[in-house]
Amino acid sequence: MICAIAGFIAGGALAGVLILVLGIALSIIYTVITYRRYKDIDDLNTYLSKVLSGNDVPDITDQEEGELSILKTNIYKATTTLKFQKELLANDKKMLADAIADISHQLKTPLTSMMVMNDLLLGEEDADKREEFLKTQSAQLDRMNWLIQTLLKLSKLDAGTALLKSEEILGSILISDALKAFEIQMELKDIAKEVTGPEIDIVCDRNWTLEAVQNIIKNCIEHMDEGGKLSIETSETNLYTEIKISDTGCGIDEADMPHIFERFYKGKNASKDSVGIGLALAKTIMTSQHGDILVESTKDVGSTFFIRFYKTII
């Protein structure tokens, strides 16, 4: 109004009117822009309130230019990341609950057996019977110790606290060390062994990889009858080095094939003492080193496990 009056005095009525109209137009434009800006800020505030309350929030599809649009996009990215992390946390909690339930179930059986044996020992006077009960308890303690140690190893790998140190080792040495633990067991079951293939260099954590290979061999031996054969073959391609372990056992049922590396899963052909974590541990160890374990099996013919050490991360 002041500019319009000044324009009227200095330039006449037309100049005053033009200045007045221009001033009104600029005021209207400024008011509209300010209103929209505050409305966008209020919408963002409402959006963030929904996020903080844990409610489902709509996607931001604003494609306009400007600082507020960039802010909206960044806020949407942040909320999407938070939502994803929330889903991961929920899945982790579910997996933890399932794992605790499985562990409780696996420990309950040997504990119950030991409690029964202990009650029998208290009232048993026969020396032979007492020795038999003590042997049974000793076997159950060994089973519990193996289960707990294996679960601790899995927990370390899951939590990322296990330090896997890569070193170069000859495949023949790794295989030889893995077989040493089963020499007596294989002799008792009259299981023949055959190791073939070229010498290969493997880059891995020696101790953890030895654990994985031994779990595979243990699984093969447990599913073979007397007089079976364990075959181990090494090979190498441009992508990976491989240890192939084959048995002449009962094979894996087709329905069990997608689940054999799942924790606490016991297939139809599993032995009565099977817990269902040996193969899961082997798989976890290999994937933690950017490797993998594959399996092929024919029922009543045998199974073949392919332990692969990739030369590049895939």
The answer as to whether 294 is a domain residue is yes
What is the CATH classification number for the domain harbouring 275?
3.30.565.10
pLDDT band for position 233 (50/70/90)? Answer: very high
Same domain, 202 and 287: yes
- Average pLDDT, integer, range 282-294: 91
pLDDT band for position 232 (50/70/90)? Answer: very high
- Average pLDDT, integer, range 52-70: 64
Higher pLDDT, 299 or 154: 299
What pLDDT digit, counting tens, does each position of 84-95 carry?
888 888 877 776
Name the maximum alpha-carbon separation found in the chain: 129
The answer as to whether 92 is a domain residue is no
Same domain, 239 and 215: yes
The answer as to whether 93 is a domain residue is no
The answer as to whether 91 is a domain residue is no
Q: What's the half-sphere exposure (Cβ side, CA atoms, 13 Å) at 255?
A: 4
Of 143, 159, 175, which residue sits at a domain end? 159
Same domain, 288 and 196: yes
Length of the chain: 314
What pLDDT digit, counting tens, does each position of 174-209 carry?
999 999 989 988 998 999 999 999 999 999 999 899
Measured CA to CA in angstroms, residue 114 lies from 69, 91, 101, 119, 135 at distances of: 67, 35, 20, 9, 11
Would you state the pLDDT for residue 177?
A: 92
Would you state the pLDDT for residue 192?
A: 93
- Distance of alpha carbon 298 from alpha carbon 259, whole angstroms: 16
Quote the number of domains for the chain.
3
Mean pLDDT estimate for the chain: 82
pLDDT band for position 248 (50/70/90)? Answer: very high
Lowest mean pLDDT among 1-5, 52-56, 86-90, 296-300: 52-56
In 3D space, the residue among 227, 223, 237 whose CA is nearest the CA of residue 295 turns out to be 223
Same domain, 175 and 294: yes
Higher pLDDT, 157 or 4: 157
Helix (H, G, I), strand (E, B) or coil at 308: strand
DSSP letter assigned to residue 258 = G
- DSSP run (H or E) holding 214: helix 206-222
Same domain, 246 and 270: yes
In this structure, are residues 215 and 179 in contact, taking their beta carbons and an 8 Å threshold? no
pLDDT band for position 120 (50/70/90)? Answer: confident
8: containing domain: 2-84
Would you state the pLDDT for residue 274?
A: 67
236: left (phi over 0), alpha (psi -120 to 50) or beta: beta
What is the CATH classification number for the domain harbouring 110?
1.10.287.130
Would you tell me how many other CB atoms lie within 10 Å of the CB of residue 48?
A: 14
Scanning the structure block, which residue is given the tokens 């817990």?
275
Of 59, 84, 109, which residue sits at a domain end? 84
The type of residue at 228 is G
| Global confidence as pTM | 0.64
Of 159, 179, 198, which residue sits at a domain end? 159
Same domain, 256 and 301: yes
Kindly tell me if the per-residue pLDDT of 66 is higher than 80.
Answer: no
Same domain, 259 and 189: yes
Range 70-95 burial, b when 16+ CB lie within 10 A, else e: eebeeebeebeeeeeeeeeeeeeeee
Kindly tell me if the per-residue pLDDT of 304 is higher than 90.
Answer: yes
